[in-house]
Amino acid sequence: MRVFFKHKLVLLLTLILTTSLILNAFIFDKAMDYYLSTNAVKLDPVNLHRYSQDSIQTASIDTEKTTVVFFGDSRASAWRKPKVSNFQFINRGISGETSAQAFLRFDYHVSYLQPDVIIVQVGINDLRMLPLPPKTRTDIVEACKDNIRRIAEKSQNLGATVIVSTIFPIGRGNLPLKERIRWQSIPNIEQDIEEVNTYVHSLKGDRIIVFDAYKILGINGKTKLNYTQDLLHINSAGYEALNREIADLLKPLHQ
């Protein structure tokens, strides 16, 4: 009997030790990721290195075609080129980017391209984050609105027509456990998306077109299942649905 309990104790201690090693390895890996990403932000806060001005030679831009730039976060980065004649598309989206980062890099990544049209999709990475003191949700939402407005104004100052997309709805499903410590609750995110989108609609004006991607993709505040890739991203069918609508906006803008 004593040998049996000793054997059980050894197994239990082995299990505890193994679990501890796995958890510590996981924590170390996450800490290293955080350390590297923090240093990367310090060295290049707005990802200026992502697109050098040499990546597209001015000579390679066909002046006979209307130049369209997709600008914003990963949702912009993944946006496929619409099939529209007499247009050329350049993508300047960066995954994980906030509206503040997008605003700060606009001049470096967009201005020199001298685009005719700029399509902006940004904001979700602001709204999903838990506020850090002394920030509040209200501060984050208001800053997001202001940054989108300023990006639209910068686009106008270039002489471009800006198509400001409403923020896509989030997808279906539960928030992953590992994200719950740094994300707002899903109902809060949904509420903030609706508030920013209401503001986006108010921006419509001279050379500012509002493209209601939220309405195209969503139903009852969520991305339609057949358009959902994950909580934050849409699939190829979702982009095809957007492109069918945006093609009609682009055609009259051909220079």
pLDDT at position 59 is: 47
Asked if residue 223 and residue 166 are part of one domain, the reply reads yes
* 191 lies in the same domain as 247: yes
Residues 35 and 90 in one domain: no
Do 2 and 99 share a domain, yes or no?
no
Let me know the angle formed at the C-alpha of 209 by 139 and 229, rounded to the nearest 5 degrees: 70
Whether 167 has a pLDDT exceeding 50, the answer reads yes
Q: What is the pTM of this model?
A: 0.82
Same domain flag for 73 and 1? no
The per-residue pLDDT of the chain, averaged, comes to: 86
Rounded average pLDDT over 61-89: 94
Question: What pLDDT, in 10s, does the model give residues 66-79?
Answer: 999 999 999 999 99
Report the CATH number at residue 100: 3.40.50.1110
Flag whether 132 is in a domain: yes
- What is the b/e burial string over 150-187, where b = at least 16 CB atoms within 10 angstroms of the residue's CB? bbbebbbebebbbbbbbbbbbbeeeeeeeeeeebbebe
Domain count, the chain: 2
**Can you tell me the mean pLDDT for 155-173?**
94
Residue 48 in domain: no
Residue at 49 is within a domain: no
Residue 199 lies in a domain: yes
Average pLDDT over residues 180-193: 81
Does residue 53 lie within any of the structural domains?
A: no
What phi-psi label fits residue 121: left (phi over 0), alpha (psi between -120 and 50 degrees) or beta? beta
Does residue 33 fall inside a structural domain?
A: yes
pLDDT of residue 31: 59
Residues ≥6 apart with Cβ < 8 Å to 82: 89, 243, 246, 247, 250
The verdict on residue 206 lying in a domain is: yes
- Say if residue 39 is in the same domain as residue 64: no
**Angle 96-101-105 (CA atoms, 0-180°, nearest 5)?**
120
pLDDT given at position 185: 81
Q: Is the pLDDT of residue 17 over 80?
A: yes
pLDDT at 43 (0 to 100): 54
Q: 108-160: per-residue pLDDT in tens?
A: 999 999 999 999 999 999 998 877 666 889 999 999 999 999 999 999 999 99
- What pLDDT shows up at residue 157? 96
37: containing domain: 1-43
Q: What is the pLDDT of residue 44?
A: 60
| Residues shown for the chain | 255
The answer as to whether 52 is a domain residue is: no
5 and 97 assigned to the same domain:
no
Please tell me whether residue 125 adopts helix, strand or coil conformation: helix
Q: Give me the pLDDT at residue 15, please.
A: 82
